């Protein structure tokens, strides 16, 4: 069997279903315009349980005394493969991906009533896809129509995402290895952008440097729309236009990660377009860097998820006081939320198959405790928009520093490696400028 992690996950999920049936479809193809499609991206839950890359597919997992895992996929079609590429077909897919059974996707609606009949529960991502909700409702109706023949429809419909989110929250060795690889590629992309950056470049030129490095090293592409924000654009959290020229006296913030095997990396770096931090830029940067260090130290097993945000926030607020952005004590500023004009987001999120990955952050009223195998981002920032009460030398400075962290038995493993300190960044940018100068004089 070529994909043991997926088979193991299916078995683990089946054990949680009781006398139930889980239905997990993949994502549909999406039309970009007219008859052109976006590049296909599978559904993350489906991929987690299968590793199967094709559209028009679904998994059915049957619990109870006779558990089994079924894959429904497109039939083999050599004529269509000339146009669209290779298809496994049910027979080859069953063998390659370790399913008990595989059937043509077109047979799913016909088989579904029999698969769910006399079962207690249907597990499905309720409300996620109206078309699938309709299909499952029709299957239940078909079972009810056979009640005189002794068929009983499931009495419960339950949301499958809760079970899968808990499974996905802790990564296995297979996932961790892929995520480290994605982080290595993304780190190389950010380093390349630092080396290439010059005053007068367009933001999209740096975006192109990132994309080149990602694809050159084997990534599937960007994990999300990249942010390349020069100057005051860095104070717009989701700036994605990436179409302005870079001023030599400004900073540029790049938030970009790549996807490898379905898994995301997520890195942000902020650096000086001209290669050296100005005094005010360095002051702000060092505050954010210190906040990130405090957050790293707070990532450890048993700590509540919010602990590393709280640690970063205290450093950021002290920095705001020192910069003259807010008045009062650290505790008072935090309690009044007077810091929010300059820091309006939390310090991180889960990371995995989705950039903002599956998993709850609270269990009831309590923050989820960190545990080995969880992966999260640590991304404090300061965003200083111009204003009448803002010191002029700070106007338009936006800084965020983001890294990916694996929770280990001993604490947190920061496994993204792009240059982070002022000295490291300036050295890499100096190397890039020296190399370009040498090439020009050859």
**Looking at 345, 346, 385, 395, which residue is catalytic?**
345
**Looking at 148, 238, 440, 441, which residue is catalytic?**
238
CA distance 442 to 427: 23
**Looking at 34, 35, 65, 440, which residue is catalytic?**
35
**Looking at 48, 88, 263, 383, which residue is catalytic?**
383
Q: If DSSP codes are grouped into helix, strand and coil, which group holds residue 285? A: helix
**Is 119 annotated as catalytic?**
no
Token code pair at residue 4: 């043991």
**Looking at 32, 37, 356, 430, which residue is catalytic?**
356
What are the Cα distances from residue 218, in Å, to 114, 152, 180? 43, 50, 14
**Is 441 annotated as catalytic?**
no
Please, are residues 252 and 203 in contact by the beta-carbon 8 Å criterion? yes
Alpha helices, H only, 170-202:
173-196
Residue 61, strand partner residues:
22, 69
Q: If DSSP codes are grouped into helix, strand and coil, which group holds residue 126? A: coil
**Is 266 annotated as catalytic?**
yes
Please, are residues 350 and 374 in contact by the beta-carbon 8 Å criterion? yes
H/E segment holding residue 22: strand 20-25
**Is 238 annotated as catalytic?**
yes
**Looking at 175, 402, 403, 404, which residue is catalytic?**
402
CA distance 372 to 354: 19
Going through 322-373 in order, the beta strands assigned E by DSSP cover 362-363, 366-367
**Is 345 annotated as catalytic?**
yes
**Is 400 annotated as catalytic?**
yes
**Looking at 354, 379, 404, 426, which residue is catalytic?**
379
**Looking at 255, 259, 403, 404, which residue is catalytic?**
255
**Is 366 annotated as catalytic?**
no
Q: How do 121-124 and 20-25 pair as beta strands?
A: parallel
Going through 374-430 in order, the beta strands assigned E by DSSP cover 375-378, 381-384, 397-400, 403-408, 411-414
CA distance 71 to 399: 47
CA distance 233 to 229: 5
Please, are residues 225 and 252 in contact by the beta-carbon 8 Å criterion? no
Q: Please give the backbone phi and psi of residue 397, each rounded to the nearest 5 degrees, phi first.
A: -85, 120
**Looking at 119, 158, 269, 349, which residue is catalytic?**
349
**Is 402 annotated as catalytic?**
yes
Owner of token pair 């190389």? 188
**Looking at 266, 354, 357, 426, which residue is catalytic?**
266
DSSP 8-state code for residue 350: B
**Looking at 400, 403, 420, 426, which residue is catalytic?**
400
What are the Cα distances from residue 252, in Å, to 122, 183, 266, 393, 420? 50, 21, 17, 17, 14
Residues 6+ apart with CB under 8 A from 117: 143, 146, 151, 152, 153
Catalytic residue list: 35, 238, 255, 266, 345, 349, 356, 379, 383, 400, 402
């Amino acid at each position: 069997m070529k994909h043991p992690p997926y088979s193991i996950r299916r078995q683990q999920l089946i054990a949680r279903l009781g006398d139930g049936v889980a239905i997990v479809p993949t994502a549909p193809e999406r039309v970009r315009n007219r008859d052109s499609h976006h590049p296909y991206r599978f559904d993350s839950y489906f991929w987690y349980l299968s590793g199967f890359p094709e559209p028009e597919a679904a998994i059915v997992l049957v619990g109870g005394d006779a558990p089994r895992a079924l894959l429904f996929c497109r039939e083999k079609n050599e004529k269509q493969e000339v146009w669209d590429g290779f298809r496994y077909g049910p027979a080859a897919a069953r063998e390659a991906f370790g399913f008990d059974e595989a059937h043509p996707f077109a047979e799913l609606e016909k088989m579904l009533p029999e698969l769910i009949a006399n079962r207690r529960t249907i597990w499905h991502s309720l409300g996620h896809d109206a078309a699938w909700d309709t299909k499952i409702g029709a299957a239940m109706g078909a079972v009810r129509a056979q009640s005189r023949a002794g068929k009983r429809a499931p009495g419960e419909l339950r949301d499958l995402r809760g079970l899968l989110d808990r499974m996905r929250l802790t990564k296995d060795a297979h996932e961790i290895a892929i995520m480290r690889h994605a982080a290595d590629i993304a780190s190389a992309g950010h380093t390349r952008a630092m080396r290439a950056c010059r005053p007068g470049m367009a933001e999209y030129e740096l975006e192109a440097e990132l994309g080149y490095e990602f694809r050159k090293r084997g990534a599937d592409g960007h994990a999300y729309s990249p942010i390349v924000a020069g100057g005051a654009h860095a104070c717009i959290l989701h700036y994605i236009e990436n179409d302005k020229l870079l001023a030599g006296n400004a900073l540029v913030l790049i938030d970009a990660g790549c996807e490898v095997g379905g898994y995301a990396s997520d890195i942000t770096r902020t650096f000086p377009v001209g290669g050296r931090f100005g005094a005010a830029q360095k002051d702000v940067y060092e505050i954010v860097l210190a906040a990130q260090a405090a957050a790293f130290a707070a990532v450890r097993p048993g700590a509540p998820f919010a602990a590393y945000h709280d640690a970063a926030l205290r450093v950021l607020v002290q920095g705001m006081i020192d910069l003259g952005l807010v008045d009062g004590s650290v505790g008072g500023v935090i309690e009044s939320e007077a810091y929010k004009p300059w820091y309006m987001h939390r310090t991180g999120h889960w990371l995995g198959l989705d950039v903002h990955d599956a998993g709850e952050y609270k269990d009831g009223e309590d923050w989820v405790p960190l545990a080995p195998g969880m992966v999260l981002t640590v991304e404090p920032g300061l965003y200083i928009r111009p204003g009448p009460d803002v010191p002029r030398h700070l106007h338009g400075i936006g800084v965020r520093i983001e890294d990916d962290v694996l929770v280990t038995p001993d604490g947190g493993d920061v496994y993204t490696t792009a240059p982070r300190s002022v000295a490291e960044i300036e050295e890499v940018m100096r190397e890039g400028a020296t190399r370009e100068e040498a090439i020009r004089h050859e």
